Structure 1
Amino acid sequence: MNPVSNNSQVSILGIGTALPIHSISQSVIAELLATSLHDQPDLARFSRRIFRSCGVETRYTCEPNYLGTSEECRYLPVGDRSNIPTTEERMNTYRREALPLAIEAAEKAIKDADIQPGNITHLISVSCTGQYVPGLDVMLIRHLGLSSRVNRLPLIFQGCAAGLKAIQMARDIVQSTPDSQVLVVCVELCTLHFQPVKEREALFAASFFGDGASSCVIGHADQYHTHYLQLGTGYSVLLPDSTEDMTWEVGNAGFDLYLSPRIPKLLGTHLVPELEMLLAGDNLPDLWAIHPGGRGIVDSVQNVLNLRDDQTKFSRDILKNAGNLSSVTIMFVLDAMRSELQSVDSTAKEGVALAFGPGLTAELMRFRYVPSYASLLTEHDHAYL
């Protein structure tokens, strides 16, 4: 668990993100859901309240069916539910729509890192909202021009924490094999799994998930790299007494998600000792890349750590403008953070990235924003990466 030394340059060298072309306002999706609950007025009123308070204003979807009238929406039907898309139909849509988003994000990351696709040695593909074989990894190799001998590591069905999990896996690969360059690609089509709601708990999941893709390239930084994120130590932990608080199971009409309202409280209870272990006596850093699993989760982390509003704004802005994109989201947060630090000509700053998923799993990782390789070499302050 010891921090890596300051001369370790395993870093995120490039980041790319992508969103579907269809955007939908929170008020529109809330009305679709409330209308589908016309025969359950109490639940409909509760749904409107949840959708207004969850911190989301806009989401993106690969499914144009949500853009029509409530009578036309097959995912949240007003009356007859016999035409709800089956899991097979949803997976066919996933297979058609996931690849273009993944390619867009990956191409941006490769360009941002200024590397050749053929130099990628490892591909970590991440998704929990759809599967098929030959999978996304095989398709990406073909479309991106990667080597046919690239080491493929699919990371599937790990939920929202998987994006940061993949970054930490890539860091470990590069640390053990310095010449490696790892491409991480996450794609999630969460809106494919919306379905009629029968109980209050299901409304929490429906209120903030959206579709998108993100990607990053991880390798060793050198004197030519600027504005990158140096990766420090990190780990994954299962939080106690929380196994049933987040579940994701395959059903006949899509995947069935359950999110317990206890999750923010659980994180508030167990996060502090984990961060104490991660930081090993060092002070809290300036930067916080928090996976916005929902407004309550960001609130809980901010309150328990006494963070300022400007330290959680990146997470809240992504939640507001795109929703929770599951594993994809953490790279959106890191990209927004890096862009602002670059725009204000910031000096090097240390940070912590956090993501949470089924288990209940917490992923924790230290990182540092580095404006340039040369600036890092001239620093003489305490380095706690």
Structure 2
Amino acid sequence: MTVETAVPVAYLNRIATAVPPHDVHAAFVSFADRLLRDRREHVLFRRMADRSQIAHRWSCLAPAVPDAPGADEAIDTTGFYRFGSFPSTADRMRRFEADAPDLVTRAVERLDLGPSPPTHLIIVSCTGLSAPGLDFTLIDRFGLDPSIERTVIGFMGCYAAINGLKLARHIVWAEPKARVLLVCIELCTLHLQESTDLEQVLTFLIFGDGCAAALISAEPSGFALDGFQAIRVAGTAGQITWQIRDRGFDMTLSGRVPGSIADGLRSASGRLLPDGPEAIDLWAVHPGGRSVLDAVEAALGLPASALATSRDILRSYGNMSSATVLFVLEAMLREDPGGRRGCAMAFGPGLVAETMRFSSARH
């Protein structure tokens, strides 16, 4: 005779976020504009900057002060990015190792781990890596159990937070008393490239730095993690790439991405949303850019108000890769009155849309 054991429900209990102190959006747009030599591309870039719906982005780099010595040649006060002398991969990783620990610490401090320490730690990043890494930083700074179970999810791009939540749910299923600390840390502004290619220069317009920390457990508070589904769009593998090269991490971000996302969501909408989009109250969509949000809205036939939170995060922070969708979920969790059903999604290399169904815990 077999005895069936009920599988515990995993909940995203709470989220805390942090960004560096320097607002670099205006400085980055101005610097990128100067990289372009073709007049038509210059005009197009300015038009896209005006329509980006981004007002602020934050960086560990302090923007150069206008009219200060050397300000015409460098984007930041330390000269990390200087015309004709962009940093090597080693320089970028040294900067990540210097700045990421404090940003991670700030986010986890705001999370408030409470009296019960985490039993599992998941670190997510696609913008920096070292060993010993940020998992050990958190163990040392917060006095965590040295035998805490540690996992690092690296180089998956903007959808990696969804994969982190998926792993956390499996942990809670296997160990109902588990308390999983998930940390997504991205210093995207360390990976800009000196280029005259418009698609590459557009990274100056979109990306910012940020960190999000989340606690996942079987405690029935926050959002229940109801289910996950990945949607891969055939024939799009080259549209988003992220490769380590001598001069840093080199990104391909094709202008065809929004259209491909829309095609993928339309073709998979039946299995993704079996009860139709009208059954979803909360849309936590990764704001990869204005055109990405527009594509999701059009593909699923959503009202203009559906992606308001995602657009607010884009406006205030830009695209922070994996951390961004947790910023969106944090804003929703903070204002949730209960009794709602939601769908989160984020996009990245593959081309893949990683999606998550969630619902409010009973109040």
- 8 Å CA contact 1:36, 1:76 repeated in 2: no
Structure 1 residue identity aligned to 2:135 = D
TM-score by length of 2: 0.91
Q: Counterpart in 1 of 2:18?
A: 18
Rounded Cα–Cα distance in structure 1 between residues aligned with 2:247 and 2:40: 24
Name the Cα RMSD after superposition.
2.0
Q: Counterpart in 1 of 2:259?
A: 265
Match among 353, 358, 363 for residue 367 of structure 1: 358
Q: Percent identity?
A: 34
Q: Counterpart in 1 of 2:126?
A: 128
**What residue ranges of structure 1 are gaps of 5+ in the alignment?**
1-5, 376-385
Rounded Cα–Cα distance in structure 1 between residues aligned with 2:38 and 2:187: 28
Structure 1 residues 327, 141: CA separation in 2 closer, same or farther (over 3 Å shift)?
same
SS of residue paired to 2:206: coil
Structure 1 residues 356, 115: CA separation in 2 closer, same or farther (over 3 Å shift)?
farther
Structure 1 residue identity aligned to 2:109 = E
TM-fit CA distance, 1:122:
1.0
Rounded Cα–Cα distance in structure 1 between residues aligned with 2:201 and 2:31: 13
Structure 1 residues 99, 214: CA separation in 2 closer, same or farther (over 3 Å shift)?
same
Rounded Cα–Cα distance in structure 1 between residues aligned with 2:64 and 2:35: 13
Rounded Cα–Cα distance in structure 1 between residues aligned with 2:314 and 2:214: 20
Rounded Cα–Cα distance in structure 2 between residues aligned with 1:54 and 1:65: 20
Rounded Cα–Cα distance in structure 2 between residues aligned with 1:11 and 1:244: 35
Q: Deviations over 1:138-183 (max 9, x none)?
A: 2221112211111111000000000111011101211122111111
Rounded Cα–Cα distance in structure 2 between residues aligned with 1:242 and 1:334: 28
TM-fit CA distance, 1:369:
2.1
TM-fit CA distance, 1:185:
0.3
Structure 1 residues 177, 46: CA separation in 2 closer, same or farther (over 3 Å shift)?
same
SS of residue paired to 2:360: strand
Match among 93, 96, 100 for residue 95 of structure 2: 93
Q: Deviations over 1:198-252 (max 9, x none)?
A: 2121133221100010010000124xx4xx1111011223221111010011122
Match among 331, 334, 337 for residue 332 of structure 2: 337
TM-fit CA distance, 1:347:
3.5
Structure 1 residue identity aligned to 2:223 = L
Number of matched pairs:
350
TM-score by length of 1: 0.86
Structure 2 residue identity aligned to 1:367 = F
- 8 Å CA contact 1:238, 1:361 repeated in 2: yes
Q: Counterpart in 2 of 1:3?
A: none
Q: Deviations over 1:5-64 (max 9, x none)?
A: x9953101121100001112x333211222244x44443333222222222111000012
Structure 1 residues 127, 333: CA separation in 2 closer, same or farther (over 3 Å shift)?
same
Q: Counterpart in 1 of 2:30?
A: 31
SS of residue paired to 2:202: helix
- 8 Å CA contact 2:193, 2:200 repeated in 1: no
Structure 1 residues 66, 210: CA separation in 2 closer, same or farther (over 3 Å shift)?
farther
Rounded Cα–Cα distance in structure 2 between residues aligned with 1:66 and 1:167: 38
SS of residue paired to 1:64: coil
Rounded Cα–Cα distance in structure 1 between residues aligned with 2:81 and 2:87: 10
Pairing of 1:1-385 with structure 2 (within 5 A): 9-24=9-24, 26-37=25-36, 39-66=37-64, 69-73=71-75, 74=79, 77-78=82-83, 81=84, 83-111=85-113, 114-116=114-116, 119-222=117-220, 225=221, 228-281=222-275, 284-341=279-336, 346-370=337-361, 373=362, 375=363
- 8 Å CA contact 2:9, 2:173 repeated in 1: no
Q: Deviations over 1:81-136 (max 9, x none)?
A: 1x32211111101001011111111222234xx343xx311111000011111111
- 8 Å CA contact 1:110, 1:216 repeated in 2: no
- 8 Å CA contact 2:269, 2:300 repeated in 1: no
SS of residue paired to 1:337: helix
